[in-house]
Structure 1
Amino acid sequence: MLSYGAIHNKPHVFQSLTGLKVEEFEQLLPPFEQAWIAYVEEHHIQNRTRQRQYGAGRKSQLNAIEDKLLFILVYFRLYPTQAVQGFLFGIGQPQAHEWVHKLSGVLNVALGYENQLPEREPHRLEAVLQQYPSLEFIIDGTERRINRPKDKDDQKQYYSGKKKAHTVKNNVISVRRGKVVFLSDTYEGKKHDKAIGDEEDYEFPPGSKLWQDTGFQGFQPKGVTTIQPKKKPPKQELTEAQKQRNREISSQRVEIEHQLGGIKRCKIVVDKFRNRVAHYVDDVMETACGLHNFRLSYR
């Protein structure tokens, strides 16, 4: 059975299972414990329908706060089925399901305490970006596969012709040589990256420089210098100078691909998403961004 006590002295195994080094895990543990105490206070202690005192009855296999954090980090990192997750931690699938959704929220709150979560509200984007004096940002879209929706209309909306699969999409904005600072809402796979940007109406500080790819062709926020590769005109070829310029831009933009790669250390945002609980597909992407930012901060 997996437990913190059994693997904390095996650093390579620990990092493979959680995505964090042992030292980073221990840095995250205090805010996670604070978030857990707040959760218990709100949902259990103040719950007037309880028939007995919180903590009475049979002790959970995840009694230690270290094991709770290990449980949810392993789930995000490896994304096993809940039956397998329960087996690893010595509990049944129904208990695993309950702990997954309970501790996902607690982990998200803990990352919020550490100021590692990206901004989600477009109307606050400009104020957030003002904090970075370089005023140089990168934007990109990312898709994740999901199970085919049951509703026929949803099947059409979530089908991505690019991926030939049912997907959801987010736009991500990062600071050059910095963190992921903004994550858009989660949209159906049919929606274009630029259409998401237009709908959310991003505003940047005047004088900003924005690196973007051809998926944002025509996206031009007010007061912003946009830099993007030149598309090949229909039935024509790019000149050698234009190709060289595109290579130069791509060599700078590759930074956002590294950021997305860091986010996708969590297999829960890489593998086909199986969970149908409302909003959970959006919540896990926010938390994965927070974990990536957390690693950047402590390395």
Structure 2
Amino acid sequence: MRGTPATFIEAALIASRQFQLPKKRVFQEAEIVYSIMAVDASEVPCEWPKKQRGRYSGKKKQHTLKFQVLLCTTTQRILGTATSAGTVHDLKLFRQSGVRLSRDTTLIGDAGYQGLWRSHGHAITTHKATRASPLSDEQRQENRVLAWTRQGIEHVIRRMKIFRVLKGVYRHRLRRFALRIQLIAAQCNLTRACPN
């Protein structure tokens, strides 16, 4: 038998069928309608690749991989993940993930998801101030309410980053990054359901 212990553990977790996220088609079914969902992305530093241009994040000033989490805000369950190189914008990553939501679902994103309403009609993002037009008091209050609603997804990303694979520099095979993100997300869902 060939392979590392990590690949055997991953295979065992996949075979147990407890560590799975819902399928993407579930979001469109009429029986299961999630009222409010939140989306956010985070970056994980990775080793310098041979072709450096594809993974260099100007935001973090280092080579990174990006993962995105889709969360139901009422149950705090992770419903979907997506991964890409660190150079990909958050909104582009959401569009590439292929997630189709029900029209009744409200989707909340941070400032990185400006323009999300073009692909999903009930999308809400924070208001951004410019030099010409500062935020009004109503817009500040709306931003506070959105931040309070979005805090759950920030806590979920923190729980995912407790795992050492996402905490430090990612040194493993890049083609298995998406699988590891899904397994960690399913583990977070499982520990959320039964904390003992």
Q: Is the 8 A contact 2:33 2:104 kept in 1?
A: no
Residue 180 of structure 1 is matched in structure 2 by 78
Q: Structure 2: where are the runs of 5+ without partners?
A: none
Structure possessing the higher radius of gyration over alpha carbons = 1
Alpha-carbon distance in structure 1 between the residues aligned to 2:34 and 2:95 = 24
Which ranges of 4 or more aligned residues in structure 1 deviate by more than 6 Å? Answer: none
- TM-score scaled by structure 1? 0.59
Question: How does 1:235-274 map onto structure 2 within 5 Å?
Answer: 235-274=132-171
Displacement after TM superposition at 1:265 (Å): 2.0
Once the two structures are overlaid, the 10-residue window that deviates more, 188-197 or 227-236, is: 227-236
Task: Give the share of equivalent positions with the same residue, in percent.
Answer: 21
Is 1:147 the equivalent of 2:78? no
2:35 aligned residue (126, 130, 135): 135
Residue 103 of structure 1 is matched in structure 2 by 9
Q: Secondary structure at the match of 1:220?
A: helix
Q: 1:132 to 1:266 in 2, by over 3 A?
A: farther
Q: Is the 8 A contact 1:139 1:256 kept in 2?
A: yes
Displacement after TM superposition at 1:145 (Å): 0.8
How many pairs are equivalent?
194
Question: How does 1:1-299 map onto structure 2 within 5 Å?
Answer: 98-110=4-16, 113-114=17-18, 116-119=19-22, 122=24, 124=25, 126-127=27-28, 132-151=32-51, 155-178=52-75, 179-184=77-82, 186-220=83-117, 224-275=121-172, 277-299=173-195
Displacement after TM superposition at 1:105 (Å): 2.3
Alpha-carbon distance in structure 1 between the residues aligned to 2:188 and 2:33 = 22
Q: Is the 8 A contact 1:269 1:288 kept in 2?
A: no
Once the two structures are overlaid, the 10-residue window that deviates more, 209-218 or 261-270, is: 261-270
Q: Structure 1: where are the runs of 5+ without partners?
A: 1-43, 45-94
Alpha-carbon distance in structure 1 between the residues aligned to 2:99 and 2:4 = 37
Alpha-carbon distance in structure 2 between the residues aligned to 1:246 and 1:214 = 10
Displacement after TM superposition at 1:117 (Å): 2.1
Q: 1:237 to 1:222 in 2, by over 3 A?
A: closer
Q: Is the 8 A contact 1:172 1:183 kept in 2?
A: yes
Q: Is the 8 A contact 1:125 1:182 kept in 2?
A: no
- TM-score scaled by structure 2? 0.88
